[in-house]
Structure 1
Amino acid sequence: MTERCIRVALAGVGSCASSFVQAVVLSRSAEQDMPGLMHHRIGGYRLGDVEFVAAFDVDHRKVGIDLAEAIDTAPTVAVRHVAVPPMGLKVGAGPLLDGVEGKLSKIVEPHPDCGSVTASMVTAALRDAEADVLVCFLPTGARAAVQMYARACAEAGAAFVNATPEPVANCPELAALFLERGVPLLGDDLRSHLGATTLHTALIELLGSRGVRIADTYQLNVGGNMDFYNLSDPARSHSKQLSKRRALASTGLDATDVAAGPNGYVKYLGDRKVCFLRIEAEGMLGSPLSMEIRLEVEDSPNAAAVVANAVRVARSAADQRLSGVVDPVCAFLFKSPPLGMPESEALRCFQTFVEKSAAPAPAALAHTT
């Protein structure tokens, strides 16, 4: 491992974490040839510079075993593309809070230790591991747990990447805490590398650039991983629905009544996600225009490609002494950033950040004591 590594912690060791770990392992030998990797280096860091130093979960099948084994343990359904050797890192028990409420409680039996884990214990674990960045892969709807990890990161001096739609970057109190502690914050709700939201917003922007008026649209998604199982519970999916509409609204579209988001769990699909997208529009002389698209992707690698950017951006932001929400990158990496932008503008801001951070001076995050 290079001296300039990124010490990463994971909250939630499910399918997305599995694909991200696999991508890091693969990148150490084949990074320049990896499809889907936008930048070989961000802030001077390669993806292969990631070192996993802590991991938390609540499932009794995952807690206490090596991370390499945990990323293959049920209910994870991510496809194993890469052989991951033992990592010498055991998954720790995370705080239970609201992590497995609703339908997830039928699938996940919490580890006995989770009931006694406190926020201060997570903060201490992050300090002991000298974590630079924590990626939060917790289930949608677990607001208390997500925000607890965020506070623990701010106190420990570790940057926070919020892959969930629960408000962290959009929570004024938490955004202010990260700014006060001098720690970078990225969020909310990871935008898949080339998923339904990215395709939908790009098409809306394309039509708008031609003066075509959109009359109606919808985006329906089904999948077979635990994310879709969790989101099939209406009590858990509310924040995801809001996040999807915010992403569409960033294009200038009135998305108040647009159907967009998870619409069903189909176990047969496994880690595949299928999007059915339709746009109806009006062109010159009121002429009708419509399109229907079926997009199928392997869900977790699609997310891992974005996390590959996000963790290196977070570490680069820390090197530059940036703190609080890193607005220039969030609109490209997340569906529900505090400052939304059209697809092309978000990409331009992200690429500008990467170019400006090409070679920062090495620096360690200031871990609070």
Structure 2
Amino acid sequence: MTLAHRSAGTPLPGVMHERIGGYALADVTFVQAFEADANKVGRDLADALRQAPTAAVHHLEVPPLGVVVQAGPALDGIAGRLAETVSVHPDCADVTAEDVTAALRGARADVLVCFLPTGATEAVHTYARACAAAGVAFVNATPELVANNPELSALFAERGVPLLGDDLRSHLGATTLHTALLELLMSRGLRVKDTYQLNVGGNTDFLNLSDPARSASKQASKRRALTSAGIDASEVAAGPNGYVKYLGDRKVCFLRIEAESILDAPVAMEVRLEVEDSPNAAAVIANAVRVAKSAADQGLTGVIDPVCAFLFKSPRVGLPESEGLSAFQGFVSRAAAAASAPEWHGHREARPLLASARQEVA
């Protein structure tokens, strides 16, 4: 069944809430897009999404969106093996943070989602500062530290702008499964002895991560997520482990946990999880952009900690899986109450808008 054939009110698989803060997914409108890839700059966003080296499956025919992809500041965004595949548009060399701020203001954007490649610390921080200056909420889907950066988190608080991050979790991916299983074992009083998480994939995200110099922040992020689950993850192998081109946008996780139960009886499990990577991220972004807009409507500023433990691998305040979910659901409930308050309707400007910053589309 396609989306067009679904009746109103029919739940969509993977969409946790029809509305967050009064906003449905149909309320999200793309108004601005930044890229460094020469294949995508200058194209309508709908057309750019289909250009190589994008590996994402086209589940829907997207009509022209009327949003021309602009050159963004490349900086350290394209490097390593990714530079062998992606040609940087020449205009990117001249784009500044001030240009990004002006474009966001001109588009009247509310939220920017940052999907820059892992390892692009300078570029991610440049977009973050541009958003803070423009008054645009920032969703940091990358492992580069923004919410966990004291200077940047303070900047968003001072500017009165919401900030979400860091390192987007897949909706049901390796980290989510791993932390949920760890919590299950520990809730039964088992002692976790050893564990590992190996991940391979075939999109440009995994191509970039196949360079050790680019993947360090991703591995650190995954270990932080496992630490929040309640184990000592300082020496746990968890992270991207290989680029397998034929997998395309599929990601495969091999997971093992060894534990001890009563009388030191051994317990071991092995799991193979295979997902389509881009939709798995989209399901979380469906939550994150509406949370960010709702937070702005409520006057919340800086890092929105109650939602980050559920939506991101490296939140500023980490929580076990069930506690993170509970905190997220609590925010959604409070946002619904705020959106339904009589005095709310004259305060909120009904223009939920979205911008995106990408330098590789997996």
> Equivalent residue of 1:32, what SS?
coil
* 1:303 aligned partner, one-letter code: A
In structure 2, the partner of 1:112 is: 90
Query: Quick one: which of 125, 142, 153 aligns to 1:164?
Result: 142
Query: Quick one: which of 72, 77, 86 aligns to 2:64?
Result: 86
In structure 2, the partner of 1:250 is: 228
Q: Aligned residue pairs: how many?
A: 342
Cα distance between partner residues in 1 of 2:333 and 2:72:
37
* 1:177 aligned partner, one-letter code: L
Query: Quick one: which of 32, 36, 41 aligns to 1:58?
Result: 36
In structure 1, the partner of 2:124 is: 146
Query: Quick one: which of 339, 346, 349 aligns to 2:324?
Result: 346
| Cα displacement (A) at 1:44 | 0.2
Structure of higher RCO (CA pairs closer than 8 Å, 6+ residues apart): 2
In structure 2, the partner of 1:130 is: 108
Question: How high is the TM-score relative to the length of structure 1?
Answer: 0.91
- Deviations along 1:75-128, whole A, 9 cap, x unmatched? 100000011001111100000100101111101111111110001000000000
Query: Deviation above 6 Å: which 4+ runs of structure 1?
Result: 25-31
Alignment of 1:184 with 2:162, yes or no, is: yes
Contact 2:11 2:18 in 1 (8 A): no
* 2:133 aligned partner, one-letter code: E
In structure 2, the partner of 1:15 is: none
In structure 2, the partner of 1:67 is: 45
RMSD of equivalent CA atoms: 1.5
* 2:257 aligned partner, one-letter code: I
Cα distance between partner residues in 2 of 1:356 and 1:339:
20
Cα distance between partner residues in 2 of 1:249 and 1:146:
25
In structure 2, the partner of 1:199 is: 177
| Cα displacement (A) at 1:33 | 3.4
| Cα displacement (A) at 1:28 | 9.9
In structure 1, the partner of 2:205 is: 227
In structure 2, the partner of 1:11 is: none
Contact 1:157 1:183 in 2 (8 A): yes
In structure 1, the partner of 2:358 is: none
* 1:296 aligned partner, one-letter code: E
Question: How high is the TM-score relative to the length of structure 2?
Answer: 0.92
In structure 1, the partner of 2:15 is: 37
Change (3 A) 1:50 1:220: same
Alignment of 1:48 with 2:26, yes or no, is: yes
Query: Quick one: which of 214, 232, 240 aligns to 2:218?
Result: 240
Query: Quick one: which of 66, 74, 83 aligns to 1:96?
Result: 74
| Cα displacement (A) at 1:30 | 6.6
Query: Structure 1 stretches of 5 or more lacking a match?
Result: 1-22
> Equivalent residue of 1:263, what SS?
strand
| Cα displacement (A) at 1:252 | 1.4
| Cα displacement (A) at 1:32 | 3.5
* 2:244 aligned partner, one-letter code: V
Query: Structure 2 stretches of 5 or more lacking a match?
Result: 352-362
Query: Quick one: which of 281, 305, 319 aligns to 2:297?
Result: 319
| Cα displacement (A) at 1:26 | 6.5
Contact 2:120 2:144 in 1 (8 A): yes
Query: Quick one: which of 261, 274, 278 aligns to 1:300?
Result: 278
